[in-house]
């Protein structure tokens, strides 16, 4: 039976790159922040191999920006996250867990500080704009909150730095991980950050102005022709290997940042004004009782994880798997799950109840990419 198609309409917003993405032969989309996000070009496995050895252009326009502008922008930003923003400077990007008053995850964006009174929050798939606008209005803050005409284009893969240097000059090689600089394209200054949703290295260009999308895309494609540049997209296998989390899949409002393994991005004591501060200070005392882990699931390739798969040990449920894919490089199914502390130690053997039956599995205490095995 043929797979169902996605009906597109105004609600499933197109992007400035959509025509190029379709011309490149996109095979599947998901919807992310009410916008089209490509998920497959050739096959997930072909895309994966190409990403790990070449360079790809990703239309990640769906990483929408929430712009905060005004004297209270910094204060509002700190209300959203337990990460200490008092030490953040313009030129920096921070991965920022964002929480509600219970310490529950609302989003896990990348926050860019553009100026003392100006921030971009590059959001994952939840309507964070409404939460932020509600706060700004209810607290009568002096800040404008809106979605600007900005559309991230990611350049990812081992040859990404060479390609970006061809387009914007050698200077870009000195941009540090999670730092940004500005570059000029046809007279327009744009933010270029060393970041992106892969572990293969690369950059994200925050394309400003819808009409510049296609010229930017065409420039990278032309300059990268001999580097074997291709249209690509965040790759399910690669992101699971690297334990890059997906909001709505691997965590929800029912999880604290500590459960998500994002404790290293929380300085809750210093984050004065954070809405979830009291709740997180309380849970930080005890520590989480379940946490995100990488999990290797034995046997043949498993189907995509569209629902939580229970993890069992000794006849009791000890966790859930939220993302899974077969990894050609690790020659096993790689997965991300939430595991109770009784079974979260490295090497713990468990069973996963997959749609293809019960499978033996092993809990890893680090991303696959940080293991020394292959
Ligand atoms: N880039 C930008 N915006 C984004 C994403 C992005 N918005 C949506 C989504 N991705 C947000 N989620 C993440 C998840 C992981 C990372 C970035 C955004 C990430 N994590 C690194 C890791 O886990 O290894 C750690 C980052 C760090 O050390 O600071 O990169 O990708 N613009």
Per-residue pLDDT of 115-173, as tens digits, reads 999 999 999 999 999 999 999 999 999 999 999 999 999 999 999 999 999 999 999 99
Distance 202 CA to ligand 1 centre (A): 12
Q: pLDDT by residue (tens digit) across 66-105?
A: 999 999 999 999 999 999 999 999 999 999 999 999 999 9
What pLDDT sits at residue 137?
Answer: 98
Residue 268 within a domain: no
Mutate to test the pocket of ligand 1, among 34, 59, 60, 110 (most ligand atoms within 8 A of CB): 110
Query: What residue owns the CA closest to ligand 1's atom 24?
Result: 244
Residue 289 has pLDDT above 50, yes or no: yes
Instruction: Supply the CATH number for residue 324's domain.
Output: 2.40.30.110
Q: Which of 83, 114, 146 finishes a domain?
A: 146
Ligand 1 centre and the CA of 4: distance in Å? 30
Q: Atom 1 in ligand 1: which residue has the minimum CA distance?
A: 196
Last residue of one domain, picked from the residues 82, 116, 146: 146
Last residue of a domain, one of 181, 209, 239: 239
pLDDT attached to residue 372: 58
Here the CATH number for the domain that contains residue 37 is 3.30.1360.120
Pocket of ligand 1 (CB under 6 A): 63, 95, 108-110, 122-124, 152, 178, 195-197, 204, 244-245
Residue 132 is part of which domain span?
A: 65-146
User: Under DSSP, is residue 305 helix (H, G, I), strand (E, B) or coil?
Assistant: coil
Give the model's pLDDT for residue 374.
43
Give 299 Cα–ligand 1 centroid separation in angstroms.
30
Residue 214: C-alpha distances to residues 33, 55, 64 (Å): 21, 18, 18
Q: What is the mean pLDDT of residues 198-226?
A: 98
Please state the rounded mean pLDDT for residues 187-212. 98
Q: Please report whether residue 329 resides in a domain.
A: yes
CA distances to 19, 72, 132, 312 from 65, rounded to whole Å, are 22, 18, 12, 40
Number of domains in the chain: 3
Q: Give 1's pLDDT tier (boundaries 50, 70, 90).
A: low
57 and 76 share one domain: no
Q: Are residues 227 and 168 in the same domain?
A: yes
- Extract the tokens encoding 46: 């072909």
69 & 208 share domain = no
Predicted structure pTM score = 0.97
pLDDT at 118: 99
């Amino acid at each position: 039976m043929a797979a169902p198609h996605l009906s597109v309409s105004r609600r499933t917003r197109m992007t400035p790159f959509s025509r190029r993405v379709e011309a490149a032969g996109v095979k599947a989309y998901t919807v992310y922040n009410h916008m089209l996000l490509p998920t497959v070009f050739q096959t997930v496995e072909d895309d994966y191999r190409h990403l790990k050895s070449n360079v790809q252009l990703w239309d990640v326009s769906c990483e929408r920006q929430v712009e905060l502008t005004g004297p209270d922008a910094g204060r509002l930003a700190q209300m959203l996250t337990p990460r200490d923003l008092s030490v953040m400077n313009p030129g920096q990007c921070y991965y920022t867990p964002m929480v509600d008053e219970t310490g529950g995850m609302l989003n896990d964006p990348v926050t860019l500080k553009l100026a003392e009174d100006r921030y971009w929050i590059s959001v994952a798939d939840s309507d964070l704009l409404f939460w932020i606008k509600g706060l700004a209005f209810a607290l009568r803050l002096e800040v404008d909150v809106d979605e600007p005409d900005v559309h991230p284009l990611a350049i990812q893969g081992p040859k990404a730095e060479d390609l970006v240097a061809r387009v914007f000059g050698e200077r870009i090689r000195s941009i540090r991980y999670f730092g940004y600089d500005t570059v000029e394209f046809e007279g327009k200054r744009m933010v270029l950050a060393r970041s992106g949703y892969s572990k293969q290295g690369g950059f994200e260009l925050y394309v400003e102005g819808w009409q510049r999308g296609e010229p930017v895309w065409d420039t990278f494609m032309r300059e990268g022709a001999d580097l074997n540049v291709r249209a690509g997209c965040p790759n399910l296998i690669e992101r699971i290997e690297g334990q890059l989390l997906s909001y709505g899949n691997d965590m929800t409002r029912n999880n604290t940042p500590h459960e998500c393994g994002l404790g290293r991005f929380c300085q809750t004591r210093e984050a004065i004004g954070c809405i979830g501060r009291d709740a997180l200070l309380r849970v930080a005392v005890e520590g989480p009782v379940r946490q995100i882990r990488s999990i290797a699931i034995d046997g043949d390739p498993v189907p995509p994880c569209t629902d939580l798969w229970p993890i069992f040990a000794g006849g009791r449920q000890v966790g859930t798997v939220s993302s899974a894919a077969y990894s050609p490089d690790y020659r096993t199914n790689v997965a991300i799950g939430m595991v109770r502390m009784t079974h979260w130690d490295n090497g713990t053997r468990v069973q996963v109840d997959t749609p293809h039956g019960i499978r033996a599995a092993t809990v890893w205490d680090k991303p696959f990419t940080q293991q020394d095995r292959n």
